Amino acid sequence: MQDMAEQILAGNRRALARAITLVESGRGDHREQALALLESLRGHGRQALRIGLSGTPGVGKSTFIEAFGCMLTGLGLKVAVLAVDPSSARSGGSILGDKTRMERLVRERNAFIRPSPSQSQLGGVARRTREAIDLCEAANFDVILIETVGVGQSETMVAEMADLFLLLLAPAGGDELQGVKRGIMEMADILLINKADGDLKPQAIRTCADYAGALRLLRKRPQDPEGFPKALTVSAIEENGLEKAWEEMQALNTWRHESGNFDARRAAQARFWFEAEVRERLLARLTREPVKGAMKALAGQVEDGALTPSAAAEELLREHLMME
Amino acid sequence: MQDMAEQILAGNRRALARAITLVESGRGDHREQALALLESLRGHGRQALRIGLSGTPGVGKSTFIEAFGCMLTGLGLKVAVLAVDPSSARSGGSILGDKTRMERLVRERNAFIRPSPSQSQLGGVARRTREAIDLCEAANFDVILIETVGVGQSETMVAEMADLFLLLLAPAGGDELQGVKRGIMEMADILLINKADGDLKPQAIRTCADYAGALRLLRKRPQDPEGFPKALTVSAIEENGLEKAWEEMQALNTWRHESGNFDARRAAQARFWFEAEVRERLLARLTREPVKGAMKALAGQVEDGALTPSAAAEELLREHLMME
């Protein structure tokens, strides 16, 4: 593990890929190795800008990541792209699975693209993604893009791992604007209205103005300077507006660093994930023997009416989970 | 407790009210007494029909309960009315708090009305309501109406406690029909379109037809005979359609008893609540000393970057929660 850690710190891509595979593994011995690796990587002092990116299918996420990622590598920055796709855990599919949709970025020396793990247990997605982020940060990437699809809790999860959160949107009629859930709007730092090109350009500009108006109605957040969150138009295909978007991200990031918000947010996120992991692993006891079997037997008695739900819960907690 | 149990079994209202206050209490000694009481009441063999009722504010729930409850007592049935209002736990208010809105029912000898407990801890609302239901059943009520407001998880909670679930709706334009969440529609056994009186009557009839059409699009559920779930119009103010609604409830209830679905559902519900209570109480360990303090100290180290979230979780689980 010490060897692997040194290779990662030296920027070895193959070691990084192997390390991510290790943290994604469900095997007990792999888990021990992964924890040892992460421990030996602590204190490297490197800090990437972690950018979360969400958007519904069809909005142009892959094209945007390709264009934005190439622009960043063109500026000499090292870019890692990770994906969180809870649906792939069930379907076996994965976003970013088709790397050919990013054929330019995938060939860039300074880019590293990692598809969402498929067939993984849903509960562990967050932990594995956080650990993959840590590994990329240790490998000295400047920007880590974390892509997710606009479904369920995955956006909240990614927002809790990212320093900045981008929401990619398509040009839309005024009525459709309401379709974006308020909660998602409130998580976003920058809304990017994509497809501001060709026939859709006027509509993209109008949509952007509509969103800008909606954003002004939100209460100002303590983590934002004047003017944020904001809405911008981009064209991933024509590669327009990407520099401007990057400038805004840097401006926001600089402000948050100087105001202390950046560090405060990272600290709060670390605490959030610590508490989430404790809860998750505590509940996981119920799905392992011997508790699992005892719970099943008591559930049978509850179904038969021999025990009330509360009395059975009391017995399980006292006898099998060492609680008073 | 034995004395109180005998009084409840004899149908003493004052004893029932005191017993419900006891199960609602958060005090440790009260909790012990409540469990002893519930245990001594087990095996009475009485079975009420538990009817869940939901509907957004303004739809006429109080008026419906008043009219429907009086109709039932008029048939010689004993009726208990309970309320679940998660919002009252925060606001301190409560539904059914104003009993004067049911001034006829409140005077009925065969009716018992219990407002939602206010200022209770949210987590325990489900357990207290279940226990209040058990107490009413022991007190030989024929029908237990459990009212809830159409917000958050309270409808799911009530549906998991009820034998039948009613959704009270207002007459609406065709567009508004979509406003009823699909999940709620799928929980309901009977949709009651209220206010089928005066000027609103034609609209109520149209709305009922619209909902009936929407219900036909839902997949048939194994717990339903042909024709269910169904939509009916009622007028709580003019007391029209209440007998018809009660007939349909009885038809559905009879079918479920004969098909074995009634018992199967009660068994599944008991199992559900057993498992939910185990999870809830297991997690409650984290909010009590000494775990609470240890968790806080570790969270501080995580915020400072001295420990990773995973390493801190590992330490808390191993040292303070006796997990490997």
The superfamily in CATH containing domain A45-270 is P-loop containing nucleotide triphosphate hydrolases (3.40.50.300)
CA dihedral A131, B285, B86, B40 (to 10 degrees): 140
What is the model's pLDDT at position B98?
A: 57
Choose from A308, A320, A321, A323 for mutation: most chain B CBs within 10 A. Answer: A308
The answer to whether the CB of B145 falls within 8 A of the CB of B167 is no
Residue pLDDT tens, chain A, 324 long: 789 999 999 999 999 999 999 998 878 899 889 989 998 898 888 999 999 999 888 888 989 999 999 999 999 999 999 988 766 544 544 555 556 678 888 888 899 998 776 555 545 778 889 999 999 999 999 999 999 876 667 888 899 999 999 999 999 865 566 556 667 778 899 999 999 999 999 999 999 998 998 888 887 888 889 899 999 999 999 999 999 999 999 999 999 999 999 999 999 999 999 999 999 889 988 998 889 999 999 999 999 988 889 889 989 998 888 764
Cβ–Cβ gap B323/A275 under 8 Å: no
Q: Topology of domain B1-43, per CATH?
A: 1.20.5
pLDDT averaged over every residue in chain B: 87
ipTM > 0.85 for the complex: no
Helix axes B28-41, B13-24, angle to 10 degrees: 130
Residues in chain A whose beta carbon is closer than 8 A to a beta carbon of chain B? 35, 38-39, 42, 127, 130-131, 134, 267-268, 270-271, 273-275, 277-279, 281-283, 285-286, 295, 298-299, 302-305, 308-314, 316-317, 321-323
Q: B285-319: per-residue pLDDT in tens?
A: 899 888 999 999 999 999 998 888 988 998 999 88
Sheet holding A143-149, edge to edge: A111-114, A79-84, A143-149, A49-55, A164-169, A190-193, A230-233
Searching chain B, which residue's CA lies closest to the CA of residue A304? B267
Average pLDDT over residues B182-194: 87
Cβ–Cβ gap B303/A267 under 8 Å: yes
How far is residue B250's CA from residue B225's CA, in Å, rounded to a whole number? 12
Q: What is the DSSP string of A103-142?
A: HHHHH-TTEEEEPPPSS--GGGHHHHHHHHHHHHHHTT-S
- The CA distance from B262 to the nearest CA of chain A, in Å, is 13
The answer to whether the CB of B290 falls within 8 A of the CB of B320 is yes
Q: Read off φ and ψ for residue B120, nearest 5 degrees.
A: -90, 160
Half-sphere exposure at residue A8, Cβ-oriented, CA atoms within 13 angstroms: 26
Q: B202-219: per-residue pLDDT in tens?
A: 999 999 998 998 888 887
Choose from A282, A289, A298 for mutation: most chain B CBs within 10 A. Answer: A282
Report the SS3 class of residue A255: helix
Peptide bond between residue B229 and the one before it cis (omega within 30 degrees of 0): yes
The answer to whether the CB of A120 falls within 8 A of the CB of A128 is yes
What is the model's pLDDT at position B24?
A: 87
How far is residue A127's CA from residue A147's CA, in Å, rounded to a whole number? 15
Q: Read off φ and ψ for residue A232, nearest 5 degrees.
A: -135, 150
Percent of chain B with pLDDT over 70: 89
Choose from B35, B275, B278 for mutation: most chain A CBs within 10 A. Answer: B278
Residue B93 host element (H or E) = none
Closest to A57 in 3D by CA, of A88, A90, A89, A24: A88
Q: Where are the alpha helices (DSSP H) in A160-308?
A: 182-187, 201-216, 242-259, 261-284, 291-304
What is the model's pLDDT at position B285?
A: 87
| B88 pLDDT tier (thresholds 50, 70, 90) | low
Q: Is the pTM of this model over 0.90?
A: no
Closest to A278 in 3D by CA, of B290, B297, B313, B302: B313
Q: B27-57: per-residue pLDDT in tens?
A: 889 988 998 999 889 888 899 999 999 988 8
Q: Read off φ and ψ for residue B147, nearest 5 degrees.
A: -90, 140
Percent of chain B with pLDDT over 90: 57
Quickly count: other Cβ atoms within 10 Å of residue A15's Cβ: 19
Residue B262 host element (H or E) = helix B261-284
| Range among A52-61, B178-187, B224-233 with highest mean pLDDT value | B224-233
Q: B95-130: per-residue pLDDT in tens?
A: 555 566 788 888 888 999 987 765 555 457 788 899
What is the model's pLDDT at position B92?
A: 47
Report the SS3 class of residue A193: strand
Q: Is the dihedral of CA B166, B172, B174, B177 positive or negative?
A: negative
Cβ–Cβ gap A299/B275 under 8 Å: yes
The residue behind tokens 């409560």 is B94
Among B131, B275, B310, whose Cβ lies nearest the Cβ of A277?
Answer: B310
What is the model's pLDDT at position A92?
A: 47
| B174 pLDDT tier (thresholds 50, 70, 90) | low
Report the SS3 class of residue B207: helix
Domains in chain A: boundaries: 1-43, 45-270, 286-320
What is the model's pLDDT at position A124?
A: 72
